[in-house]
Amino acid sequence: MAHPDAALWSGIRTLCYVEQLKPFSTTLRFREKQRKNSGYSVSLWETAAKFCFLFLVLLCQDRDVIAQYPPGQVRFLETHQLPSSTPPPVITPLSLSRTQTLSQFRLSVAKEFINKASHPEFRFVDGQMYDLQPLTDFLLWVADLPNNPETTAMLKTKTRPLPNWSLLYGRVAQVTDGNGILLWKYEQPEMVLEPKLVRLRNYTLEKTLVDGDIVVVFAKNEGPYSYIDTQHGKSTVSSYDYGKPVTKQQVDLFIQKRPLPAIRLPAQTNASPAQRKP
């Protein structure tokens, strides 16, 4: 038969044992909480490290390797832009009137293109303001010069304003998603033969264009532009920057800061006898 106080003494011993375990239990809970917090921090760092590593792998991969991509799957950095080898559109040659030659037509249209491309006069490209009026005046002056060897020799002594800017005229080949316009650029104003595919970006009327529209602009040459085209190949074309619009305040500040053009005084005709050469 069990002693009547056995149950009481057993309860007292259990209570004392539990009281002794309380500090140990508190320590375990603190360490467990600390471990979870440190584990959470380590987890964040691991996730960030994995993301950076994946980005570097994708950035440094060989873009010309296509075997790892299933057919029809868009590759990293791939766009839906046309290949540079795309054949140009077939344009019906224009018919001239009997009273106008091809040279006369080209001269007339070239002047029209120059005046059209000169607006807006001020552009902002790569953090720098440009005034296109000197280039417009120079090209219109050249257009009125006679086409002969003397003119060619004389132009070699002249400095063309804004040498990195070009007159572009052509037909829209494709309006891309955020990468500008692919444009068929022609060398002659009639825009019929041998165009080249180029990229034009920052054109203000880009969203209003459709394939085949004619674009005439002044734009700054940026050099080659490469992209992965719709045929999973690498295409490279010349790229041009139309420039960003500027405010009236920016134009006024630009005009105030730029140096004044040199003024050439007329030759002196009423010189005194002492001033005249013998």
* Amino acid 72: pLDDT: 45
The series of mean pLDDT values per 10 residues for the chain, 278 residues long, is: 52 51 54 57 66 60 39 51 90 86 94 96 95 97 94 94 97 93 96 95 96 97 93 94 95 87 54 46
Query: Which residues lie below 8 Å from residue 183, measured CB to CB, with a gap of 6+?
Result: 168, 170, 171, 172, 173, 197, 198, 199, 200, 215
* Amino acid 132: pLDDT: 97
Segments making up each domain of the chain, as ranges: 11-60, 102-257
pTM: 0.67
